[in-house]
Amino acid sequence: AVLTYSSSERGVKVDPEGTVTIAAGFCGKATVTITAKATASYLKTTAQSVITVTAVQKSNKITVSNFTKNTNLNRAQTFKLGASQKGNGVLSYKSSSKKVTVTSAGKVTIAKGFVGKAVITVTSAETPFFKKAASKSTIIVNPAKTSLISVSNSASKKATVKWKISTGAVTGYQIQVATDSTFTKVLKTYKVKSIKKASKIISGLKKKSTYFFRIRTYQTVSKVNYYSEWSASKKIKITK
């Protein structure tokens, strides 16, 4: 009798000789129906063979960067997380902070004026070929910077430093004094805990010496200090 073959799945094909070909990437079950045509001596008859193809799951790996941002006091800021993976599972995202949200497409929005840390967990769903995987992206948002207004030799061996009061919700300021413009030779770092204060007198300086000053803001969130970028520096020669 002449035999014919048909498959229930496109990923599994059977040629007229009964040779089965399984397509690359196919996973699941396929039913192959074998039909013997009727002859003068035999009735038509059929039989079925179920072919099950299972995949060996590989470990998946998600690659995602950490980010450091400066807060924006005027509007929210957005950016793409840019996560990628070795596998092909659907990616989902979850943020640890209500002030830092993330969409199903991986678009991150940082609320206006937010300072602190948020951790976004990226998860790839399990597929027939890859295991479930997860990775984390840490986002640090630092406070807005301020700037120096002036540095003057106000008295003997003293300098008065004045700066612009920050409009953000900062905790205080740090003033750094160095003997070189690159601040590799820092003499001392002063902390100003009052956010309303806009000047400080630095004493103990040497006459005829040149000093460099710079300032930055800091904000304390959950007992952790977050620092802004340093301001442009100003230099002064002590003549008094």
With pLDDT > 70 as the criterion, what percentage of the chain qualifies? 100
- CA distance readout (Å), 236 to 23, 164, 200: 76, 18, 15
> How high is the pLDDT of residue 202?
97
Does residue 137 contact residue 120 with C-beta atoms inside 8 Å? yes
What is the gyration radius of the CA atoms in the chain, in angstroms?
Answer: 34
pLDDT, position 195: 87
Q: Residue 28: how many CA atoms within 13 Å on its side-chain side? A: 13
- Please, what is the Cα angle at 201 between 153 and 191, to 5 degrees? 135
Q: How far is Cα 183 from Cα 111, in angstroms, rounded to an integer?
A: 33
Is residue 49 scored above 90 in pLDDT?
Answer: yes
With a cut of 80, say whether residue 1 has pLDDT above it.
no
Say how far apart CA 188 and CA 211 lie, in whole Å.
Answer: 11
DSSP-based three-state secondary structure for 19: coil
Confidence of residue 2 (pLDDT cuts 50, 70, 90): confident
- Where does the pLDDT of residue 46 fall: very low under 50, low under 70, confident under 90, or very high at 90 and above? very high
Residues with Cβ within 8 Å of residue 159, at least 6 apart in sequence: 151, 152, 153, 201, 202, 205, 211, 213, 236, 238
pTM for the full model? 0.79
Cα distances from 174 to residues 129, 197, 200, in angstroms, run 53, 12, 11
